[in-house]
Amino acid sequence: MNPSVYLVKGREKSLRRRHPWIFSRGIQRVEGKPALGQTVDVYDHQGQWLARGAFSPNSQIRVRVWSFEQEEIDVEFFKKRLQEAQGLRDTLAVRDGLTGYRLIAAESDGLPGITIDRYQDFMVCQLLSAGAEAQKQNLVDALVALHPECSIYERSDVSVRKKEGLKERTGVLHGDMPPASLVIEENGVKISVDIVGGHKTGFYLDQRDSREASVKYINGKRVLNCFCYTGGFGLYALKGGASEVINVDVSQPALDIAKANAEINGYDLSKAQFVNADVFKLLREYRDRGERFDVVIMDPPKFAESKSQLNGACRGYKDINMVAMQILKPGGTLLTYSCSGLMDNALFQKILADAALDAQRQVQFIERFEQAADHPLDSAYPEGFYLKGFACHVK
């Protein structure tokens, strides 16, 4: 018998809508002594069974639901979830020519706290919750059973694990150590990924659809690609026939891979520059010395990790977008993104409107972007939407 969690009256509503989180304030009492990440059964205040989830004694999110059915949370359960997720990815892999994609997008794929990215025959797991950690062996066994050709590597080096009472961890979970460079392909572009040393699990797969959508704005243009990481939008700009692409990042290892990526694709390196600089400073230098661009791409890291950081994040987004508008030629295009989940579409649009006023430029929104399709948004879990962007026609 699993330990039992009984909810405060009324707190079952979100579960009935299949939202997978139970906050500590929604819990009336706990029977039994669930350990970190142990599976518990959840009941409403009248004792009616609602769901089965993982207990997180140190987190405000006290339970994350594994299932709304009375099923065992074992290897078979994880195999089922992995197979459910695979169908969509197989379709996308064929459609977009992918050898790298997000296989499991946590809550949005019914596996709270678990992210799995596949790069060729390497699965890279990020386990963010106590439940994910407690189920690690079941998850690995399920992956090995379904994908015997794959090695599995853990990249759980993320600070949010502290909230769950977990230490950061990386290392091989099954099979081989990942090579320093593994080349994946998306939309006909080759990208070298450093699974062990790169950001997150090695690459920003979530911007794939936006990168492909950017190509139509690029032909013959002078492009400034801010926060380029390992090339990303800059590679697509070269594919799309840009006359010049300036790629900017503060990470020299990322810039080195960006250049190598341009080379392995056979792009004309004389059209590309890789600049190690702080975007905030460099944009002002460009503005002040009169450098102008046809297209500016602005894909910064997450500025807001928590609600308390949201105001500061708004100022940051407004600032870089204002200067980006100022260095665009009349009629230029700004492709701008925010991956801060706490900032919704409407707020980001408002910030861009404020930036336009301060930049004294007229801006028209001509296209909207979202996270790529292998980062789906489950209708029961709106928090899964985090990445948004706009193509702006800047007059």
Kindly list the catalytic residues: 339
244 φ, ψ to 5°? -160, 140
| Separation of alpha carbons 51 and 110, rounded Å | 13
* Token pair listed for 130: 């106590």
**Coil vs helix vs strand at 318:** helix
Q: What element of type H or E holds 307?
A: none
Tell me how far, at minimum, the Cβ of 202 lies from ligand SAH, in Å.
10
Question: From the CB of 200, what's the least distance to ligand SAH, in Å?
Answer: 9
CA–CA distance from 39 to each of 19, 43, 109, 131, 132 (Å)? 17, 13, 19, 8, 11
Quickly count: other Cβ atoms within 10 Å of residue 385's Cβ.
17
Would you tell me which residues interact with ligand SAH (CB under 6 A)?
204, 207, 211, 227-229, 232-233, 248-251, 254, 278-280, 299, 301
Q: Residues 302, 339: contact at Cβ < 8 Å?
A: yes
User: In this complex, which beta carbon is closest to ligand SAH, that of residue 73 or of residue 184?
Assistant: 184
Q: Which of 92, 78, 90 is nearest to 125 (CA)?
A: 78
How far is residue 173's CA from residue 169's CA, in Å, rounded to a whole number?
11
Q: Look up residue 240 and give its amino acid.
A: G
Q: How far is the CB of 237 from ligand SAH (least distance, A)?
A: 11
Helix (H) / strand (E) element for 305: namely none
By beta-carbon proximity to ligand SAH, the closer residue of 21 and 204 is 204
R_g of the chain computed on alpha carbons: 22
Judged by CB, which is closer to ligand SAH: 43, or 233? Answer: 233
Q: Which is nearer to ligand SAH, 120 or 207 (CB)?
A: 207
Our CB check for ligand SAH shows the closer of 54 and 205 to be 205
Instruction: Compute the least distance from the CB of residue 324 to ligand SAH, in Å.
Output: 13
Dump the DSSP string for 72-113: --SHHHHHHHHHHHHHHHHHHHHHHT-SEEEEEEGGGGT-TT
CB of 337 to ligand SAH, least distance (A): 8
Q: Which residue is nearest to ligand SAH (CB)?
A: 232
Closest listed residue to residue 338, CA positions, set 349, 328, 327: 349
Least Cβ distance, residue 277 to ligand SAH (angstroms): 7
Of residues 37 and 231, the one with the C-beta less far from ligand SAH: 231
